[in-house]
Structure 1
Amino acid sequence: MAEQVGTLRRAPLSRDRILRAAVALADGAGIGSLSMRNLAQDLGVVPMALYKHVANKDELLDGMIDVVVGEIDPLVPDADWKHALRERILSARQALRRHPWAPLAIESRSMATPAILAYLDSMVGRLRAGGFSADLAHHVMHAMGSRILGFSQELFDPSRQAGRSGTAEPDPPAALPPEIAARFPHLAEIATAASHDDASVVGPGCDDQFEFEFALDLLLDGIERLHRRGWTSRHVPR
């Protein structure tokens, strides 16, 4: 690590070097640690030197997001639309898992970055090339939501609900307090219904990768059925 930092400090300052150093800083210490001052310190330069390459922190975040999106595998060539989308979405998920701050950073932006727009455009393009109408492709993108980028807002993830992001392992499932369980019996029933593997790569608790792929496959299977039926959202007069 010290050798890597030394190499970074010897390299000429550039936009790409700044962005990759910012990604490394957020990966190691969390997005909350990101500041122009901390970044300059990591790079061994004065903060003002950064502004020659990035105008402000918003531009820095946009560039960091584009670095992460650049790690996503391209669409599988010569594959049917369903396989191509599934493989690329799972690649996107792995990229975002390497950078736990990225989902909230993406959600925080008021406008999509150029790399995100290019990514989404290519996914719609594959749907259209697969015979999807523009109408169905439109609704598919809505249904996929952030899952098309490899993440989803986890309903039962307290850190997501609190607006935080980190690398801490999730807590094992716990039974709801009796008074809460009595008031909300159906939630109590499913709270610990799934099997949990302490040796899972995603840690104890709900297997996030399984849950993500389960929902992704449900969506893709349903989309495939609509496509085969020639589904349209246009209302046909009775």
Structure 2
Amino acid sequence: MTETRLPLSRDRILTAALTLADEEGLAALSMRKVAARLSVEAMSLYNHIGNKADILSGITDLVAGEIELPTPDFDWKGQMKARSLSAHRVLMRHSWAAAQFQQPGLPGPNMMTYLDATLGCLIAVGFTPAQADHARNTIDNHVYGFTLQRLTRPTRTREIARLAKKELKEISKSAYPSLYRRTEDLANATTPEVDDFDFGLDLILDGLDAMTRR
């Protein structure tokens, strides 16, 4: 019995490319490797995809489509917090994507929907379009920056303590007393600290809330 092969399409190519990027990183992403995953020749991809850059923008837009969208609501802070937490979770799943979200260029349809919904939520509570965009950018700087740090720095208490003990030997207690004290706290920690993603996000949202009350 002959096996029926699904027809090649842009969606199938991007789905395969997304899986490849998640598993092996962007350095491994190539037309040849994506084609191999689909059991086709690399040249056949060009009937649906322009080039590797087209694949990269396409899979970045797929990731944007996974993020929970905010809606205009009286509880706009709750909407923006849920949206930001969702973005953080999604970007942690796709560890290569946080850096790609910050690249210049015209975004894809999912990203434009995501940006439009965010601006709409903020404009609905009284921010001007310019203020809404500045607010969105400030929130996203926190989301992307925190995510990149979480992906590159140790997160387990034992690992953090081990690294802090090593760094403590290189810090002068007399020259940098506050830095020494903080590093000493981390070196002696036995339980995890409270996740500071919410801490930073709440500071931003509370500051924006104060703007709406003025």
Question: How high is the TM-score relative to the length of structure 2?
Answer: 0.80
Q: Which residue of 2 aligns with 1:66?
A: 61
State the one-letter code of the partner of 1:23.
L
Once the two structures are aligned, what percentage of the paired residues are identical?
A: 37
- Note closer, same or farther for the CA distance 1:214–1:72 as it changes in structure 2 (3 Å cut): same
Two-structure CA RMSD over aligned residues (Å): 2.9
State the one-letter code of the partner of 2:170.
E
Q: 1:190 aligned to 179, 182, 195, which one?
A: 182
- Asked if residue 223 in structure 1 is aligned to residue 208 in structure 2, the reply is yes
Q: 1:152 aligned to 145, 157, 164, which one?
A: 145
Gaps of 5+ in 1: 1-6, 161-167, 199-205, 230-238
Q: Distance in 2 between matches of 1:85 and 1:62?
A: 25
- Note closer, same or farther for the CA distance 1:79–1:44 as it changes in structure 2 (3 Å cut): farther
- Note closer, same or farther for the CA distance 1:156–1:14 as it changes in structure 2 (3 Å cut): closer
SS in 2 for 1:151: helix
Gaps of 5+ in 2: none
Q: 1:178 aligned to 169, 182, 185, which one?
A: 169
Q: Name whichever of 129-138 and 40-49 sits farther off.
A: 129-138
- Note closer, same or farther for the CA distance 1:192–1:218 as it changes in structure 2 (3 Å cut): farther
- Note closer, same or farther for the CA distance 1:58–1:180 as it changes in structure 2 (3 Å cut): same
Question: How high is the TM-score relative to the length of structure 1?
Answer: 0.73
- Note closer, same or farther for the CA distance 1:139–1:44 as it changes in structure 2 (3 Å cut): same
Q: Encode CA deviations 1:50-73: one digit per residue, 9 max, x unaligned.
A: 111111111111100111111112
Q: Is the 8 A contact 2:91 2:147 kept in 1?
A: no
Q: Which residue of 1 aligns with 2:83?
A: 88
Write 1 or 2 for the structure with the bigger share of helix: 2
Q: Distance in 1 between matches of 2:24 and 2:98?
A: 16
Tell me how far 1:14 sits from its aligned partner: 0.7
Q: Name whichever of 109-118 and 220-229 sits farther off.
A: 109-118
Q: Which residue of 1 aligns with 2:105?
A: 111
Q: Distance in 1 between matches of 2:85 and 2:151?
A: 23
Tell me how far 1:142 sits from its aligned partner: 3.7
